[in-house]
Amino acid sequence: MIDIGINLTNKRFDKDLKQVIENAKLAGVNKLIVTGTSLDESQQALELCLQYPDMLYCTAGIHPHDAKTFNKNSLDVLRQLATSKPVKAIGECGLDFNRNFSTPSEQEFAFVQQLELAVQLQLPVFMHERDANSRFIELLKPYIQQLPNAVLHCFTGSKSDLESCLALDLHIGITGWICDERRGTALLELVKIIPKDRLMIETDSPYLLPRSMRPKPKSSRNEPKYLPYIAQTIAHARGESLKQLVQQTEQNSKLFFNI
């Protein structure tokens, strides 16, 4: 199983990182794509990947929350990081108008710059979008034909959001959000309309611990070892066997990230 979105450089993993990686492996999650969310975190993600070749890969990018830090130099740093073998995508990049930790115009600038970089380098993009679907689609559209691949990770939007993403042939990343009895019920329905060759799975840990797990884990920290639980929930919602879903999403992820 491949977890396509995991924030392993988050400080909540500092103390027992080795064990977290080991437990993922024991749970059958044998490849992780570590998310780079800023220049520093992308650098740290890369260094971590170098310690676990053939298991860890990463992205290099600047999250919309951090878009205010984006400057001319950022592109050079990202370009340099992307020359390393474990770096398999540009991102996490995109738009988050839910919290606006950076202004919308800062976010849009950083997003477009990273799309252009991905086109130049012919790398896939790993994207984030919250409460910004129409603008997100608008900015992405001119680049989509030139990008080798593009995923919207942690999809949590509406049916029309999903349809506009699928119209651009995006891959869709589904997290344990789907296990949330308060917010995830719509996603249980929507996940059925994602074509099987466009679906990928992720934990987005340490965030988004699947809420329906029983017994409830003692810690609120999500971990890659819980990916099978998320996969099971998605498989059930789609009327597929766990084995089918795991094989298909693994194949999708390998093709997408070229691993």
Q: Which stretch binds Zn ion (CB under 5 A): 102-110, 128-136, 155-163, 185-193?
A: 128-136
What number of other Cβ atoms are within 10 A of residue 237's Cβ? 18
Rounded to the nearest 10 degrees, what angle do helices 72-81 and 39-51 cross at?
A: 10
Q: Which residue has the CB atom at the shortest distance from Zn ion? A: 128
> Which residue among 12, 31, 88, 128 contacts Zn ion (CB under 5 A)?
128
Sheet containing strand 87-96, strands side by side: 2-6, 31-34, 56-60, 87-96, 125-130, 150-152, 171-174, 199-201
Instruction: Select from 15, 1, 34 the least CA-distant residue to 225.
Output: 1
Nearest to 152 by CA among 127, 135, 131, 188: 127
| Least separation in angstroms between CB 243 and Zn ion | 28
User: Residue 61: how many CB atoms within 10 A of its CB?
Assistant: 33
Between 88 and 128, name the residue whose CB sits nearer to Zn ion: 128
Q: How far is the CB of 130 from Zn ion (least distance, A)?
A: 8
**Quick one: 34 or 235, whose CB is closer to Zn ion?**
34
Q: Between residues 35 and 43, which has the closer beta carbon with respect to Zn ion? A: 35
Residue 177 Cβ vs Zn ion, minimum distance, rounded to whole Å: 11
Which string of x and - marks every residue 75-114 that binds Zn ion (by CB under 5 A)?
A: ----------------------------------------
Distance CA 174, CA 235 (A): 11
In the complex, the smallest distance separating the C-beta of residue 214 from Zn ion, rounded to whole angstroms, is 27
Which residues bind to Zn ion, rule: CB under 5 A?
128
